[in-house]
Structure 1
Amino acid sequence: MGKTGAGGVSCVGVAEDGEDNDADEDDFIPLLLSPSMSSDGALRGSSLLEWWVEELGTEEGVEAATAMETFWQGFFVASIFCQQGCVMVPVNGLFSALSFVGCVFLLVFGQIWDPGGSLVERLYEEAHDLLLFKAALKYSSGSHAYLSSWEKGTECCLWDDISCDNTTHIVSVDIHGLGGGVISQSLCRLTSLTIIDLSGNGLTGTLPPCLGNLSYLIKLNLNGNMLSGNIPLSFGNMSLLQYFDVSSNILGGSIPDSMGNLSSLETMQLSYNTLSGSIPDSLGNISSLRLMDLSHNSLSGSIPDSLGNLSSLETINLSYNFLSGSISDSFGNLSSLKVIDLSHNTLSGSIQHSLGNLSSLETMFLGYNTLSTRIPDSLGNLSSLELMDLSHNVLSGKIPDSLGNQFSLRTIYLNYNILGGSIRDSLDNLSTLKLIDLSHNTLSGSIPDSLGNLSALKWMDYNTLSGSILNSLSNLSSLKWMDLSRNQLNGTLPSSALPSSLEQLSLSLNGHQIISEAWFQKLGKLESPSLSDCVLNISTAWIPPFQLKALSLTSCKIHGQIPSWISTQFSLEELKLTDNNLVGEIPSWLLDMKLSYINFTTNHLEGRLLLNSSAWKGITALNMSNNALCGQIPLIWPPRIILLLLNDNLLTGNK
């Protein structure tokens, strides 16, 4: 709801042709000061001019009559304003009458004292411009009544989503949830605007360059629309602008150099557009900038060294572009930086040692690039760091011991590199660590016993490790996800080695381990086990302590029929029993399960594949290849099936 400041006067809405819609000026009768009135109160057409000419002479009389005419016109309009409620006082009593008179004379003499910038005229013009702006908007089915208060003949400072200051200048337009339209240039004529927020309206068209002339603008938010074209050069003229957000549009072209002139800017959001070209060096001049988000565009070239001058910068996000070259050493000067995201580019070279100077850094995303050489020891100085993602690069060498000094670290991704050596004991200092992913590297050696001290750890993923699985892992009371597949683990896995908090488990045991019912005894929260290369020795009458969503048992030497204990898993959606020694027919209870994925390839299942319209209604993928199924290929298949593999069986009929 719009508002005015204390003592302010509201503007009255006008018709879109600029005409007043409240009263006819000729019908308004000033009763107090007119020197010549008819008995019925009507002003005699020429009597005013004749009276002044008679009293003062021709030249002086004409000037006086003109001045009085201007006065009466202002008095008339001011009266209309005041009658419509700009003075918020009781409607009865002497105080009300005096307030009305005061309001009228405030407006009238304000007009006389400033004839070149009539207050009344300005109020009408601003209302007129708002109505032109409204006319260019569209409304969705749910917003047909939106902006219904924007009507001619009403006070525009009381219109929805409009705010005025205490001089009745319109200073804010804040509108959301429309169904499209364009930004009318009439908005540019509201020269006192400090806030424009038109986010989430589905607006189309281009950005009006005249918006750059709004010299008082502090906030411009146009995100979540479908605006196209370029960012106008004139936008660099808004010297007071602090917040600029045009993200999630389809803006193209390059970022204009003039944006570096926005000396007051604190937030720059240009993400999720189609901007191209290089990042201008001039952006390094915006010393007040705290947030820069240029992510999800098509920017190319190197990252300018000048960005290292942004001493107030707290967040920089340049991810999902085509930036190349190395990370500038000047980034080590960003002493206020808390978040850096340069991921999903084609950056190369080494991680600069100077990044270890970022004492305020909390989040570091450098993944999905081609960064090489070693992880610098200096990163161990980042005492505030909570998340480090260096994944999907070509980093080599050992994991530095200094990473154990990052006492705030909660998440670390080093996966998909070529890191070697062993897992360092120093990592046991990371008492707040919740997720560690070291998979897809060339790590070797055994799992250090000290990892059992990481009581907050929730996710663990290693590979190419050797040795035995330690009992100390059961101390990881918060662990929910553990992936030790693709390793060379051996020895006997004690049933007490796994923490009861586990929900997802992926384990490769090289065929040496016998898994019994006791092994699962305390895993009541387990949802998705994936075991391979083991010997599964479980009774068919077993009743598990868990309810699974997915089960994968590959090369687990399962003999006999499909285990009947699976029928107790009422939430099961995915079932993979590949490369085992399963025999017999597909049980009828399996057809009644609400599965979406089945893979029984490379077994010895036999008999007919009996399907009907009620079997596996939700299944989308079925792989029964390389078995001994026989009979006719069914004519009726599950309605949602997308992938069907029945090759290498004994089936007959049309495919």
Structure 2
Amino acid sequence: MSITYPSNESEALLHFKAAFNDSTGLLSSWVNGTDCRIMWDGVVCNNQTKYVISLIVYGLYQGVISESLCQLHFLTSLKIFGVRATLPSCLGNLTYIQILDLSVNELSGMIPSSICFLTHLAYLDLGFNEFNGSIPSCLGNLSSLYYLDLSNNQLSGNIPISLGSLTLLRHLYLGGNPLSKSIPDSMGNLSLLESLSIGDTQLSGITPPSYTQLSSLASLDVSGNRFNETVASSSLPPSLVDLRLSLNHNQSVSETFFHNLTSLELLYLSDCMLNFSSTWIPSFQLREISLVSCMIDDAFPPWISTQFSLHKLELVNTGLVGEIPSWLLETNPQLLVLNLSRNHLEGTIF
């Protein structure tokens, strides 16, 4: 027996379309009386049940995301890009949804708490919007999440302790929000976390000792904050590949800081206070180094001469004097980006 496509879903999509000014015709294929399973751009249906399971919409103008969207009860993936709109509070009705990507829009207001009812959600991206208010603590109930991005909004307040309950989380991005206070120790529970970005969040105090428990962490960005004490080397996991501490004005970094970091490849320490001895030889080989506005005396740091895999080197406004050493390019033939501006260098350019 054939399954007829539920007309209410087609009507729901048409209501969704009507709520926007689609002057560029991005949804021109959405026409009443046609089969949205085959002909409607961005719409994917289940082959057996014929219900809409995936919806991708991009580039619409001012409008509202109508509540008719919430009639698509069997959606498992929803992606909306470049939309200037507000969110309906009924999003919690999409109980089957696993992927919700509303990044790079102009969505405003508070993050609706109804999102916390989406217990099957594995991927949530609300980055690059204009959400304000605090991060809902109920997000800690989304136990299936492996990806959470709330970056580059206007979220304020504390990082909820409840986020430490997301034990399947592998990627967490909170940077670019005016958050406050310090990082909760509960973050140490995220043993599967591979990337953590909390840069430019105005966090202050001491970087927490719980980092050492993040045994899978490969990328850590805590740049642009107000940490006022030295991070102990023992507080960072040896799994780190990418470390960004730039623009923490009182952050002091010495060679003991890198004692456990044998896998490091990307190092960004701009505007930090460096204290490296002339005999230090790192136990890693870097691909990228950025030391902008770090006073490193007159000469090129000897430890950089031990790096043979550099693709990018920035030593800007560091007080360098004299000639560029010949070993710099001889030992790094694959160097793609070299920025030595705002120093006192002289001699010929090889």
Which runs of 5 or more residues in structure 1 are unaligned? 1-238, 243-259, 261-273, 296-309, 612-655
Contact 1:415/1:440 (8 A) holds in 2: yes
1:315 aligns with 2:54: yes
In structure 1, the partner of 2:317 is 579
Secondary structure in 2 aligned to 1:532?
A: coil
In the alignment, is residue 422 of structure 1 matched against residue 162 of structure 2? no
Considering only CA atoms, is the larger Rg found in Structure 1 or Structure 2?
1
Residues 530 and 432 of structure 1: CA distance in aligned 2, closer, same or farther (over 3 Å): same
State the SS of the aligned residue for 2:32.
helix
Partner of 2:30: 280
Deviations 1:369-392, CA, capped at 9 Å, x for gaps: 111110011111111111111111
Structure 2 residue aligned with 1:364, among 78, 94, 100?
Answer: 100
Q: What is aligned with 2:336?
A: 596
- Partners of 1:371 and 1:439 lie apart in 2 by 17
Partner of 1:442: 178
Instruction: Give the structure 1 partner of residue 119 of structure 2.
Output: 383
Q: Tell me, in whole angstroms, the C-alpha distance in 2 between the residues paired with 1:471 and 1:393.
A: 31
CA distance in 2 between counterparts of 1:367 and 1:427 reads 20
CA shift at 1:539, angstroms? 2.2
* AA of the residue aligned to 2:234: S
Percent identity (aligned): 41
Query: Counterpart amino acid of 2:345?
Result: L
- Rounded to whole Å, the distance in 1 between the matches of 2:124 and 2:349 is 52
SS at structure 2 position matched to 1:322: coil
Larger proportion of helix: 1
SS in 1 for 2:220: strand
Distance 1:438 1:558 in 2: 31
Unpaired segments of 5 or more residues in structure 2? Answer: 11-23, 44-48
The TM-score with structure 1 as length reference comes to 0.47
Who is 1:516 aligned against?
A: 254
Match of 2:74 in 1: 336
SS across alignment from 1:327: coil
Q: Match of 1:561?
A: 299
SS of the residue corresponding to residue 316 of structure 1 reads strand
* Aligned with residue 42 of structure 2, among 272, 294, 309: 294
In the alignment, the residues of structure 1 paired with residue 271 and residue 316 of structure 2 have an alpha-carbon distance, to the nearest angstrom, of: 11
Secondary structure at 1:280's aligned position in 2?
A: coil
Normalized against structure 2, the TM-score is what?
0.85
Give the alignment partner of residue 412 of structure 1, picking from 134, 145, 148. 148
Aligned CA distance change for structure 1 residues 441 and 400 (closer, same or farther; 3 Å): same
Distance of 2:247 and 2:233 partners within structure 1: 14
Counterpart CA distance in 2 for 1:280 and 1:361 is 22
Q: Using the alignment, how far apart are the partners of 1:290 and 1:397 within structure 2?
A: 41
Does 1:347 find its partner at 2:93?
no
2:90 is paired with a residue of what secondary structure? helix
Measured against aligned partners, the alpha-carbon deviations of 1:182-204 in whole angstroms (never above 9, x if no partner) come to: xxxxxxxxxxxxxxxxxxxxxxx
Find the counterpart in structure 1 of residue 275 from structure 2.
Answer: 537
Instruction: Give the superposition deviation at 1:328.
Output: 1.6
Distance 1:353 1:538, change over 3 A: same
Change (3 A) 1:280 1:292: closer
Alpha-carbon distance in 1 for matches of 2:38, 2:76 = 10
RMSD (Å), alpha carbons:
2.7
* Contact 2:42 2:57 (8 Å CA) reproduced: yes
Q: CA deviation at 1:284?
A: 9.0
Q: Which amino acid aligns with 2:190?
A: L
3-state SS of paired residue (1:332)? helix
Alignment correspondent of 2:194: 458
Letter in 1 for 2:217: L
Q: How many pairs align?
A: 324
Q: Counterpart of 2:131? A: 395
SS of aligned partner of 1:499: coil
Aligned to 1:570: 308
Give, in whole Å, the separation in 1 of the partners of 2:34 and 2:211.
49
Please state how far the C-alpha of 1:546 moved relative to its aligned partner. 0.8
The one-letter code matched in structure 1 to 2:165 is: N
Query: What is the alpha-carbon distance in structure 2 between the residues aligned to residue 449 and residue 276 of structure 1?
Result: 46
| Displacement of 1:541 | 2.7
1:419-461 per-residue CA deviation (whole Å, 9 max, x = no partner) reads 1111110111110111111111111111111111111111111
